[in-house]
Structures are given as structure tokens and as C-alpha cells.
Amino acid sequence: MTEQRTERRPTRQRAAIADALVGTAEFRSAQEIHAALAGRGERVGLATVYRNLQAMAGDGEVDVIRTADGEAVYRSCATDDHHHHVVCRSCGLAVEVTGDAVERWAEAVAAEHGFTAVRHTVEIDGLCADCAARR
């Protein structure tokens, strides 16, 4: 179930994209990353951003989740281990959390209904302390 790190060639573009993700606590869309790179002077094609983001996601280097309107957003994960996120609806800040309780609950509830090969999606969203104070 764990992804295999595919053999890939290092390029300036790939590094730039990875760089844009590192050190950011927010989930960002491919378009935002593309714009950020452009604004920074890094000339990288949009298709390249998408391709690399996909590849990184496949290798488990970054996390991908979908916003409410279906857009894919990415974030570099601090850990390779299984985890979930608490995301701020206002600023996008995300913190990683783990919870054996949920994992077990999901597994149990699925089994109870005869499901196998179970996976799950758990994302929590709210207002972070800063954004809440700023109101």
C-alpha cells in the first residue's frame, strides 16, 4: 500500500516546485504554486507543475486533498506516516494530526458492514486561533 519512490530525474523545475511547498504550512493549489514561482522569477510551465505535483503525490512526498469545490491542493508532509489534517477555512493553515482511535473506528465500522480493502479520508476544518481572534 505504501508508494514506491519512482526513479526520477532531478531538474531545476522540480526543485523549484518542491521548494515552494517546503516551509509552507498551507495547502496550495497547482495554480497558486505556479503563480508563486512565476512571481519569484522562476519560469515553470503550468503543465510541469501539475505533472510534478502528481508525481510527488504518488510517491507520498506531498499530501493532496480536495477543497470543497473540488480543486486539488497540495502540501509537503512532515512525516511519511499516515496522518490527517486540521485545516483553517480562513487562511489555509494546516497542522498534521494522528489518531489511532479513528483508524480503528473506521476499520471496525467498515468490517461491520462487510467491507474490505478499507481506506479512509478524514479532514477536520475550522478557524485557527489567529483567524478567530482577527474577527
Partner DNA sequence: CCACGATTTGACAACGGTTCTCATCCTGAA
Partner DNA sequence: TTCAGGATGAGAACCGTTGTCAAATCGTGG
Q: What are the residues binding DNA (CB under 7 A)?
A: 8-14, 29-31, 43-48, 50-52, 54, 69-72
Does 3 contact its own copies by CB under 8 A?
A: no
Site for its own copies in 50-69 (CB under 8 A): 66
Q: Which does 3 bind (CB under 5 to 8 A by kind): its own copies, DNA, none?
A: none
Spatial CA neighbour of 59 closest among 76, 36, 42: 76
CA distances from 84 to 41, 58, 125 (A): 33, 17, 11
* Owner of C-alpha cell 517546503: 22
Cβ-based nearer residue to DNA, 69 or 81: 69
Within 10 Å of residue 86's Cβ, how many Cβ atoms? 14
Q: Which does 24 bind (CB under 5 to 8 A by kind): its own copies, DNA, none?
A: none
Chain Cα centroid distance, residue 73: 6
DSSP state of 3: P
- Residues near its own copies, by CB under 8 A: 66, 70-72, 86, 88-89, 95, 97, 99, 101-102, 105-106, 109-110, 113-129, 132
